[in-house]
Structures are given as C-alpha cells and as structure tokens.
Structure 1
Amino acid sequence: MTFVSALTSAILPVLLVAGVGFTLGRVHDVQVDALGTVAVYVLTPCLVFYSLATTTLGSGAVAKIAVGVLGYIVVMTAVAEGAARVLGLGEPHRGAFVLSSTFPNGGNYGIPLARFAFGPVGQSVAVLYIVAVDVLQYTLGVFLAARGGEGDLRESITEIFRLPLLYGLLAAVAARLLGVVPATDTALMQTIQLVGNAAIPVMLLMLGIQLANTRSGPSLTRAGIPTVLKLGVAPVIAVALALGLAFADGDVARVFVLECAMPAAVTPLVLTIEFSGDTETAFSAPEYVSTVIFTTTVCSTATLAVLIWALRDGLLGI
C-alpha cells in the first residue's frame, strides 16, 4: 500500500463525485435543501437499517464504537475549549471555534470514504459512528452553539427524536434481537439496499454543492488553528482511544480513527446560525464555521490520504 494508491483508490472517487456537485453548484443555483430532505428522510435511514441489519459486527464492537465516539467528542471539546480561551475568544465565536474543531463530517464525506477505503465493514462502522455523533451534535453541540446566544435549547435538542436515522438504527437493532431480519435476497431487503446505496453518491453531490455555496469569509487565516486541531490533533486523539479500547477487529479500529479525522461537519454551521444570534457582524460566528468547513475539507485531501496509507500499512500500531 502506497500513498499514491491510497489517494487514487479511496480519496479520488470521493473527490470526483464531490467535484461534480461543486461544478453543478457553481453553474446552477441548486438548492441543496431538497437533496438533503431526500437523503435525511429516505436514503440515509435505508442505509442505516441495511448496514446494521446485515453487519457482522458484534455487540462488543458496537459498544466500543459508541464509547469511543463519546470519549473523542469529550476530549476534543476540552482541547478546543482550552485553545479558544487561550486565544481570548468570547462568545459566540468561542462556541463556533469549539464546534468546528470538534465535530467531524462523518456523514456525507466519512461514510463514502470509509466504504471506498475499507469496504462493507467501513460502511457499517461509519454508519454507527455518525448515528452516535448526531446524538451528541443535537445535545452537546446545541449547548455549545447556544451559549450567550439565542434560540430554544430544549426544542432543538428534541430534534434528535425527529431524525429518521435514529429510527432506522432502532428498527435494525429490534429486527436483529427478534431474529426477524429478512434474507438479503428478498425483494424487501434488495429494495432497501438499493435505496440505501443511493445515499453515498447523493451525499457526495451534496458535499460538493455545499462547498460551492459556502462563503469562506474575509480571512482564511482565522481558520488556521481549528484546521490544525481538526486534521492534526484529532487523529492523534483517535489513535490513542482506539489503542485504549483494544478493538478485536483491526479494520473497525482503523475506520474509527478515519472517521474522527474527517474535516469539520456542516451541522455545526446550522446550529450556529440558529443559536448564536451573530449573523450581522463583519466576521460572524456562522462565517467563522463556514470558513473552517471550507479549509478543513480542502486540506483533508492530503491528510486523509496519508492517514489511510498509514492505517492500511499498520504504521500506527492499529
């Protein structure tokens, strides 16, 4: 396994599809909300259900992924909070800094990349990872975005219970516990698989369109430290957690590390817009988050290729 093969086999397919979305977003006034609705309410729940209903991962691995996600988010939040205080950032920019430095884009970037890099196991782990991250984004993430800002905290936290992916997860768990998962060659499961697989290219197109519509802000240099935290510090923390959790399956551990190393997520931007109450200043909190999303996504092309190469060759001890 070489750096070039990691780049061409895992990163390049992601970039090509996202590039189509980026070009489409530049040429046409594409509203990504419609695609988002389809992805969130139809495609992703099917992907979650099929991946988890048919996964070979044991309950021990699932529990370790959940513990790992919680540990990663808690540690990264503490590190980012400390860095923001050292920099003298006040609210709402401190919340924007912490959110964009902590939460990874494990969905429309992470799931496809994990699939290309590690196959079906990568997809299953990535799906579990993003479910756990979404729960934390709509709880801890909402709190961070709302500090010193505006918005109904309680109402937004209940949003997690309106996310169909949560019910896709619960349905898959219930089906496995009751032993009623349909055979993969039945019409029902083939339909669910077909719809779920459509989520991967659609998520990549959405990523490209979102980047095409993202304002990078007046100064990219302000995103320097969050970018270092997200792409440099986060993988180190993830490796330490993976080694500490001692995953029985090395590929599960590798995908966990890969997901943690993803660039900044888009959901924190939505939360910052809704809760920070800071959208009119020269360099607002939402603009801060969008700048970090842009810079981390662009820079991650190189960092993730190196990480995949190191993970596949066992250079990190995993």
Structure 2
Amino acid sequence: MSLLSALTSSILPVLSVAGVGYVLGLYRDIDVDALAAVALYVLTPALVFHSLATTPIAGDTAVALFVAVGAFTVLMAAVAAGFGWATGEPTATRGSLVLTSSFPNAGNYGIPLSAFAFGAIGRSTAVLFIAAQSVLMYTLGVYVASRDGTGSPREAVRTVFKLPLIYAVVAAVAARAVGVVPEAGTAAMETLKLTGDSAIPVMLLLLGIQLANTSSGTPTRRVSPAVALKLFVAPVVAVAVALVVGLDGPVGRVFVLECAMPAAVTPLMLTVEFGGDADGLSAADYVSTAILVTTLASTVTLTVLIWLLQTGAVL
C-alpha cells in the first residue's frame, strides 16, 4: 500500500462525486434542504438499519466504540476550549472553535470514505460512529453553540429524538437481540440495502453542494487554530482514546479515520440558529470558513492517515 494507492482508491472516488455536487451547486440553484431531508429521513435510516443488522462488529466492541466517540468528543472540546481561553479567543467564536474541532464530518464525508478505505467493516463502524455523534451533536453541540445565543437549547436538544437515525439504531439492535433480522437476500433486506446504498452518493453530492454555498469571507489565518486542532491534534487524541478503550484492528482504525475528518456541516446550522458574534465576526462565518479550509486541506492529511492505517503503522 502506497500513498498514491491510498489517494486513488479512497480519496479520489469521494472527491470525484463531491466535486460533481460542487459544480452543480455553483451553476444550479439546488434545494439543499429537500435533498438533505430525503437523505436524513429515508436513505440514512435504511443505511443505518441494514449496516447494524448485518454488521460483524460484536456487541462489546460496539459499546467500546460508543464510549470512545464520547471520550474523544469531550476531550477535543476541552482541548479547544482551553486553547481558546489561553489565546484570548472571544467567547462567541470560542464556541465555534470548540464545535469545529470536536465534531468531524463523519456522515456525508466519513461514511463513504471509510467504506472505500476499509470496505463493509468501514461502513458499519462509520455508521455506529455517526449514531453516537448525533446524540452528542444535539446535546453538547447545542449547549456550546447556544451559550451566548438567543435560541432555546432545550427545544433544540429535543431534535435528537425526532431523528429517525436514532430509532433505526434502536430497531436494528432490538431485531438482532430477539433474532428477527430478515435473512440476507430476502426482498426486505435487499430493499433496505438498495435504499441505504443510495445514501452514500447522495451524501457526497450534498457535501459538494454545501461547500459551493459556503462563504469564505473570514481570513484563513483567523481559523488556523481550528484547522490545526481538527486535522493534526484530533487524530493523535483519537489514537490515544482507541488505545485506552481497547479499540484495535479495523474498527479502531476506522474510528481514528472518522475522528480525523474535516469539520462537520451540522455545527454551521447550530451556529446560525444559536450563535453570536464578536469583533464583527459571526460564529457562523467562523464555522463556514473552517469547514471549507479543513475539507480542502484534508485531501492531504487523510491520504497520509489512510496510508498509515492500512499499512498497520497506526493501530
């Protein structure tokens, strides 16, 4: 496995589809909300249920993964908050620093990339990762975004229980526990698989369209701390968490890869609704620029990381 192989087999397929979405977003007025709703309420739940119902990941490993996601998120939030406080970052944008550093784009970037890099086990692990992160995003993430905003954190936290993804996880776990998962090859499972597989290209197209609509008015140097924390510190913290929790092998490697993803898009929506501004810089502008810069820079960092993970140099 070489760097070139990691780039061509894992990164380029993801960038190609996302690039189509980017070009489409530049030249056509695409209703992102409608496309995102289809992905969120139909395609992703099918992907989650099918992946978890058929995953070879053992129950204790899945629990360890959930613990690892929680530990990583809290640690990165603490590191980013401490760094922001030490450097005098205004409170409003300090929350943006925490959000962009703590929450990787584990969904519409992470799931496809993990699937390309590690196959079926990569997809299953990434699905578990995003399930755990979704809960944290709408609890810890909402709290961070709303500390100086005017929205209602309590109402926003309730959003997590409106997401079908959560119930898809519960249904898949329950179906496996009582042994009622339909057999592979049956009409039910093939329908779920077909619908779930559609989520991956749609996620990538959405990523490209969102990037095309993302402003970058904030100077890059202003978000450089977030970029450094997200792309360089986060993978190191992820490796440490994986070793402590006992995640190794393919699941541990995918966990590290997911943690190293660029900044997630959901925090942008949270800062738009709940964030404030300081010194003429809004929290939303900070987050949107960090998303754009980390996504572009991750082409290099993720290529190197995938090579290290696939060769066994890490975990």
Using the size of structure 2 for normalisation, the TM-score is 0.98
Q: Residues 42-98 of structure 1, C-alpha deviation per residue, up to 9 Å, x if partnerless?
A: 000000000000011101110110010011001100100011111212221111111
Name the % identity: 57
Structure 2 partner of 1:306: 304
1:276 CA drift (Å): 1.4
Check whether the contact 1:217–1:283 (CA below 8 A) recurs between aligned residues.
no
In 2, distance between residues paired with 1:277 and 1:254? 37
From 249, 267, 289, the equivalent of 1:291 is 289
Structure 2 matches for 1:147-158, cutoff 5 A? 147-158=147-158
2:146 is matched by which residue type in structure 1? A
2:296 is matched by which residue type in structure 1? V
2:298 is matched by which residue type in structure 1? S
1:315 is matched by which residue type in structure 2? A
1:149 CA drift (Å): 1.4
1:125 aligns with 2:125: yes
Check whether the contact 1:261–1:304 (CA below 8 A) recurs between aligned residues.
yes
Number of matched residues? 315
Check whether the contact 1:109–1:203 (CA below 8 A) recurs between aligned residues.
yes
Structure 1 partner of 2:241: 241
In 1, distance between residues paired with 2:300 and 2:25? 23
Structure 2 partner of 1:181: 181
Check whether the contact 1:217–1:290 (CA below 8 A) recurs between aligned residues.
no
1:184 CA drift (Å): 1.3
Structure 2 matches for 1:218-297, cutoff 5 A? 218-247=218-247, 250-278=249-277, 282-297=280-295
In 2, distance between residues paired with 1:243 and 1:2? 25
In 2, distance between residues paired with 1:138 and 1:154? 10
1:169 aligns with 2:169: yes
In 2, distance between residues paired with 1:263 and 1:138? 19
Structure 2 partner of 1:68: 68
In 2, distance between residues paired with 1:104 and 1:185? 34
* Paired residue secondary structure (2:91): coil
In 1, distance between residues paired with 2:177 and 2:145? 37
1:310 is matched by which residue type in structure 2? L
Using the size of structure 1 for normalisation, the TM-score is 0.97
* Paired residue secondary structure (2:281): coil
Q: Residues 274-318 of structure 1, C-alpha deviation per residue, up to 9 Å, x if partnerless?
A: 111449x742110000000000000000000000000011112x1
Structure 2 matches for 1:51-62, cutoff 5 A? 51-62=51-62
* Paired residue secondary structure (1:288): helix
1:240 CA drift (Å): 1.0
In 2, distance between residues paired with 1:241 and 1:299? 24
- Structure 1 window deviating more from structure 2 (14-23 vs 219-228): it is 219-228
Check whether the contact 1:142–1:271 (CA below 8 A) recurs between aligned residues.
yes
In 2, distance between residues paired with 1:107 and 1:35? 15
1:24 aligns with 2:40: no
In 2, distance between residues paired with 1:60 and 1:175? 17
1:173 is matched by which residue type in structure 2? V
1:218 CA drift (Å): 3.2
In 1, distance between residues paired with 2:162 and 2:275? 22
Structure 2 partner of 1:94: 94
Structure 1 partner of 2:313: 315
* Paired residue secondary structure (2:263): coil
1:242 CA drift (Å): 1.2
In 2, distance between residues paired with 1:150 and 1:275? 6
1:185 CA drift (Å): 0.8
1:198 is matched by which residue type in structure 2? S
Structure 2 partner of 1:47: 47
In 1, distance between residues paired with 2:285 and 2:260? 22
2:251 is matched by which residue type in structure 1? V
In 1, distance between residues paired with 2:27 and 2:148? 39
Structure 1 partner of 2:14: 14
In 1, distance between residues paired with 2:153 and 2:42? 27
In 2, distance between residues paired with 1:291 and 1:246? 35
Any gaps of 5 or more consecutive residues in structure 2? none
In 2, distance between residues paired with 1:278 and 1:241? 33
1:171 CA drift (Å): 0.6
* Paired residue secondary structure (1:92): helix
In 2, distance between residues paired with 1:29 and 1:222? 30
In 1, distance between residues paired with 2:98 and 2:125? 25
Q: Residues 122-152 of structure 1, C-alpha deviation per residue, up to 9 Å, x if partnerless?
A: 0000000001001001000000001121111
Any gaps of 5 or more consecutive residues in structure 1? none
